[in-house]
Amino acid sequence: MESVPPIVKFTSLQKRYGVGPVVLATIDLTVAPNDFISFIGPSGCGKSTILKLVSGLSPGSTGELTVMGVKPREARDRQAFIFQDATLLPWLTAQLNVEIPLRLRGRPVAERQTTARKMLELVGLAKVADYYPRQLSGGMKMRVSIARALTLAPHLLLLDEPFGALDEMTRNRLNEELLAVRAVSPFTALFVTHSVSEAVFLSNRIVVMAANPGRFHAEVAIDFPYPRRPDLRGQPDFQAKVNEVTRLLHEVEIPPSS
Amino acid sequence: MSSYLLRLFFAGLALIATSGCGQKTPAVSASGATLVKVRFQTDWFPQPEHGGYYQALAKGYYAAEGLDVEILPGGPNAQVMSSVAVGRADLGMTNGDDVIVAVARGVPIKMVAAEMQRDAQGILFHAEHPIRSLQDLQGKTIMAGAGSAWIEVVRQKLGVKFNLIPLVGDLARFVNNPEFVQQCFVTNEPYFVGQRGVPVGALLIANDTYEPYRVMFAGQAFLTQHPEVVAKFVRASLRGWIDYLTGDPAPANKLLAAKRSDLTPEFMAYSIKAMNDYQLVLGNAAKGERAGLLTAARLTKQIALLQEIGVLDKPVAVNEVATFEFIPAQP
Amino acid sequence: MKKHFSVLTWLLPAVSGLIFIGLWYGVRVVSGLQSWILPTPVEIMAAAVHEHTRLLAAAGHTALGALGGFLLAAILGFFTSLLLGLSKSLRASLYPWLLMLQMTPVIVLTPIIMLWAGPGMPGIITITWLISYFPIVANLTQGLLSTDMNHVALFRMCNANRWQEVLLLRVPAALPYYLAGLRIAATLAPIGAIFGEYMVGNASGGTGGLGFLVYSYNTQIKIPALFATALTSCLLGFVFVAAVAWLNWALLHKWHDSYERADH
């Protein structure tokens, strides 16, 4: 197992915009296949920047970053991004939105339609395939967004606070569904969130980050086996992990001077 | 869009416009001979003041000369002289003064015959108003076209002082105010005001001091290349005019009415009568005038006058503004 | 509540309209003005009926000019905006010139248009185009620049090429802006065509447009008919605006937030 190449590897990576302040101080991280890593930390800690770097939307300044052994941009075909809001195109139906990644790669219409239909079924939205985004609830929109990201069966999924705008019940349900989808269509995930319990429920590793400059503060391993069931949230072990991460977060959120 | 692209676009439009109304397939006369295409630009919407040309067209005078004449309607801002100068039309008609000024500014056109011996511009007043001559305008307020040459002539040569208000072409104002005096065409406005039951008088502005022609003119290039066509056009047009004003005007009037549904027979009859009463086209035989006649003496006098009142900024020779070779000999 | 409101939306303009017409008659009676100075609505309607053949023919002529100019503006405006919206350097080099052209009153350009485009329909279409072109360009360019950055990122993540980004993302996203520009242009196009007829028309083809009728009726002091011409122009304007409003509805009502959701 040691010989399996990493999905993502940060080596002494640093990021700053021009001559501005350092956004990310030296980062070292190795993401193994099938990792589900959550990044959690105060705002300004650069957790979203990590996803931008991996996706190739933003280049690193110094150090090295490889994604599936190549430069981030070259690995785009094997990764997908899920944004903070669902970023559905409002003029397209749910079905056509899910087809977009296939369409942009020039796949034939028939393949586009069957794949998109299958993805919508996977997230339980087959019956609203012809609805426009504004006819869908927030949770449904996010499910469409997940379906769209999975159409190309990516090895790596980058999620930037995808459930941040949803109420807690919807968020919990979507967390469960995300894991269910992952069981069918496996992917490695880098997940940015503000919610400790969400991070604990989803991840096998949690990276707690600090701000000014953005850096890794601590890493917590969450070794509950997958598949995880909803009642995991009520167990004392789960609560202990939530408490541990929360404590680490307090360390970085309270300025050392005060 | 840059001005270059804009110009290109306009050039394209102009091309469409000219190719649309210009290069048609040659028409064929009754005798079977091919007719020469001639485009004649008028200065306004079709009206009885263009009657002679339409009469020549309707009665086949042009065709008899071997010409296939297309009369292009004008309108506001018709720019008759520019149209002819750029070759969108071969010949045109307008005020003689304007041709003199244009030639002096380098526009390549030349008068080839008179259309009217004197311009139809007049002063319109209520019958009860005491105006009977241009001298009576002293101290009055007149609604008139600000750029008109006659205003300067009356002011400078006749020493008559009056106030001007801009011409907006709203006769309702005139009808409503018995004191109102305005510029008009003697062939036109008096009829419509009379229709409203208001007794009016009209005074022709042309006088012994200031007597502008209305003229037919041709583009220089066309004149040089096709003098015989110009001669035929002038001959047929004058024949049309004489027939229109002394014979039965019905053929031309029918064409005019087809082009403009608002021209009533009564109005056209009025215009024809005015053109005759004021001897506009056929002229005053007692003074040696006749249809089509342009004289070097009168043009010379006119050029001098325009220069004197400052309308013409540099001298221009008579033979630059007009050619007399197409004017028919004394009948 | 909703029903109550919809009754009011009809009732209030009807009442104010009646009051206005009443005042109109009042002024006419009290002032003793003649019909050719202030015609009554009935006299205007009578003139409209009497002149309906001419008014309809003229409206048709004007509609043709307005449509020609409008379509030209819609098409040229679309491609101009693409150039401006997608290339920063083109935008920088062309926008000042466009603004200059827009700032120039069309009336000043009229003689030049006359000379280049020629009298009659070509001139009328050019003037209509000039008047309706800028709102389209301004709106659509703004729209092309307002694409959601997350959508752009999504397309980049999918390795979309420049054309795909333009055709599948930026243009559809800017559609509401384009239609807003077209709506403004639709109100301006008939005005532009009538102005064009009034400035460079030549009444060719046996019938002038509404702009020509203004000359004709004014010279003949047919003032009620002049008011009827105004009414006809107004109706023509409504037809244009309604047509674009319909287009707007047809293209947007399913997905755009400016239309009420069907299921709510």
Chains touching chain A, criterion 3+ CB pairs below 8 Å:
C
Helix (H, G, I), strand (E, B) or coil at B41: strand
Residues C204, B259: Cα–Cα separation, whole Å: 7
- Nearest chain A residue to C171 by CA distance is A91
Which of C153, C164, C255 shows the shortest C-beta gap to A132? C255
Task: Please report residues of B whose CB lies closer than 8 A to that of C113.
Answer: 10
User: Do residues B127 and B269 share a domain?
Assistant: no
What is the per-residue pLDDT for B32?
60
Which of C122, C125, C202 shows the shortest C-beta gap to B75? C202
Contact of C119 with chain A, judged by CB distance below 8 Å, is answered with no
Tally of domains in chain B: 2
Q: Would you say residue C168 has pLDDT above 70? A: yes
Cβ–Cβ gap C94/B86 under 8 Å: no
Question: Which neighbouring-strand residues pair with A215?
Answer: A210
Which of A76, A80, A87 shows the shortest C-beta gap to C151? A87
What is the per-residue pLDDT for C108?
86
In the structure, do chain C and chain A come into contact, i.e. share 3 or more CB pairs under 8 Å? Answer: yes
Q: Position of tokens 């096998």? A: A204
Q: Would you say residue B246 has pLDDT above 50? A: yes
Across the range C69-78, mean pLDDT stands at 97
User: Which pLDDT band, with edges at 50, 70 and 90, does C204 fall under?
Assistant: low
Contact of C212 with chain B, judged by CB distance below 8 Å, is answered with yes
| Domain final residue, candidates B204, B223, B239 | B204
Average the pLDDT over each of A151-160, B265-274, B313-322, C115-124 and give the range with the smallest value: C115-124
| Domain final residue, candidates B171, B204, B237 | B204
What is the per-residue pLDDT for B224?
96
Cβ–Cβ gap A132/C157 under 8 Å: no
Residues A9, A25: Cα–Cα separation, whole Å: 15
Residues B210, B151: Cα–Cα separation, whole Å: 11
**Alpha carbon of B242: minimum distance to chain C alpha carbons (Å):** 26
Across the range B153-168, mean pLDDT stands at 84
In the structure, do chain B and chain C come into contact, i.e. share 3 or more CB pairs under 8 Å? Answer: yes
Residues B267, C263: Cα–Cα separation, whole Å: 65
**Alpha carbon of B300: minimum distance to chain C alpha carbons (Å):** 30
Answer yes or no: are the C-beta atoms of A143 and A124 closer than 8 Å. Answer: yes
What is the per-residue pLDDT for B17?
43
> How do residues C85-110 score in pLDDT, each as one tens digit?
888 899 999 888 888 888 888 888 88
DSSP codes joined into one string, chain A: -TTSPPSEEEEEEEEESTTS-EEEEEEEEEEPTT-EEEEE-STTSSHHHHHHHHHTSS--SEEEEEETTB-GGGGGGGEEEE-SS----TTS-HHHHHHHHHHHTT--HHHHHHHHHHHHHHTT-GGGTT--GGGS-HHHHHHHHHHHHHTT--SEEEEESTTTTS-HHHHHHHHHHHHHHHHHS--EEEEE-S-HHHHHHH-SEEEEEETTTBEEEEEEE--PPSSPPGGGGGSHHHHHHHHHHHHHHHHHHS-TT-
What is the per-residue pLDDT for B13?
43
Q: How many CB pairs under 8 A join B and C?
A: 122
Q: Position of tokens 């031309």? A: B252
Residues B123, B134: Cα–Cα separation, whole Å: 9
Cβ–Cβ gap C54/B262 under 8 Å: yes
What is the per-residue pLDDT for C73?
97
Cβ–Cβ gap A85/C150 under 8 Å: yes
Cβ–Cβ gap B195/C220 under 8 Å: yes
CATH of A8-83+155-253, one of 3.40.50.10090, 3.30.56.10, 3.80.10.10, 3.40.50.300: 3.40.50.300
Domain boundaries, chain A: 8-83+155-253
Across the range B115-136, mean pLDDT stands at 91
User: Do residues B259 and B187 share a domain?
Assistant: no
Q: Would you say residue A78 has pLDDT above 60? A: yes
Domain boundaries, chain C: 40-252
Which of C157, C169, C262 shows the shortest C-beta gap to A81? C157
Task: Please report residues of C whose CB lies closer than 8 A to that of A79.
Answer: 157
Q: Quick one: angle between helices C121-145 and C106-117, nearest 10?
A: 120
Cβ–Cβ gap C115/B171 under 8 Å: no
Which of B171, B259, B260 shows the shortest C-beta gap to C221? B171
Q: What one-letter code names the amino acid at A77? A: D
Contact of C260 with chain A, judged by CB distance below 8 Å, is answered with no
Structure tokens at C193: 């065509």
Residues 6+ apart with CB under 8 A from B10: C113, C116, C117, C126
Best C72, C100, C104, C116 residue to mutate vs chain B (most B CBs within 10 Å): C116
Which of C97, C110, C118 shows the shortest C-beta gap to B14? C118
Structure tokens at C84: 């401006």
User: Do residues B144 and B162 share a domain?
Assistant: yes
Other residues' Cβ atoms within 10 Å of the Cβ of residue B138: 12
Contact of C254 with chain A, judged by CB distance below 8 Å, is answered with yes
Best C97, C115, C210 residue to mutate vs chain B (most B CBs within 10 Å): C115
A49-62: buried (b, 16+ CB within 10 Å) or exposed (e) per residue? bbbbbbbbbbebee
Contact of C104 with chain B, judged by CB distance below 8 Å, is answered with no
The contacts found for B82-86 with CB under 8 angstroms, 24 or more apart, are B82/B107, B82/C114, B82/C115, B83/B41, B83/C115, B83/C118, B83/C119, B84/B41, B84/B109, B84/B217, B84/B218, B84/B219, B84/B222, B85/B109, B85/B219, B86/C115
DSSP codes joined into one string, C6-34: HHHHHHHHHHHHHHHHHHHHHHHHHHT--
Residues 6+ apart with CB under 8 A from C57: B261, C207
- Nearest chain C residue to B262 by CA distance is C216
More confident residue, A227 or C201: A227
Contact of A132 with chain C, judged by CB distance below 8 Å, is answered with yes
DSSP for residue B168: -
DSSP for residue C166: I
Phi first, then psi: what are they for C91, rounded to 5°?
Answer: -60, -45
Chain C 67-86, CB below 8 Å of chain B: which residues? 76, 80
Best A104, A145, A151, A190 residue to mutate vs chain C (most C CBs within 10 Å): A104
Chains touching chain C, criterion 3+ CB pairs below 8 Å:
A, B
Which structural domain range is residue B231 located in?
A: 32-118+212-321
Mean residue pLDDT of chain B comes to 86
Helix (H, G, I), strand (E, B) or coil at B237: helix
> How do residues A202-224 score in pLDDT, each as one tens digit?
999 999 999 988 999 999 999 99
Helix (H, G, I), strand (E, B) or coil at C161: coil
Q: Position of tokens 């449509």? A: C67
| Domain final residue, candidates B204, B222, B256 | B204
User: Do residues B96 and B238 share a domain?
Assistant: yes
Residue B19 lies in a domain: no
Residue B291 lies in a domain: yes
Distance set, CA A207 to CA A72, A241, C45 (Å): 21, 13, 80
Helix (H, G, I), strand (E, B) or coil at B109: strand
What is the per-residue pLDDT for B24?
41
Task: Please report residues of C whose CB lies closer than 8 A to that of A89.
Answer: 151, 169, 172-173
Which of C198, C207, C201 has its CA nearest to residue C57? C207
Q: What is the CATH number of the domain that holds B97?
A: 3.40.190.10
Q: Domain C40-252: what homologous superfamily?
A: MetI-like (1.10.3720.10)
What is the per-residue pLDDT for A156?
95
User: Which pLDDT band, with edges at 50, 70 and 90, does C251 fall under?
Assistant: very high
Q: Would you say residue C2 has pLDDT above 60? A: no
Helix (H, G, I), strand (E, B) or coil at B70: strand
Q: What one-letter code names the amino acid at B49? A: E
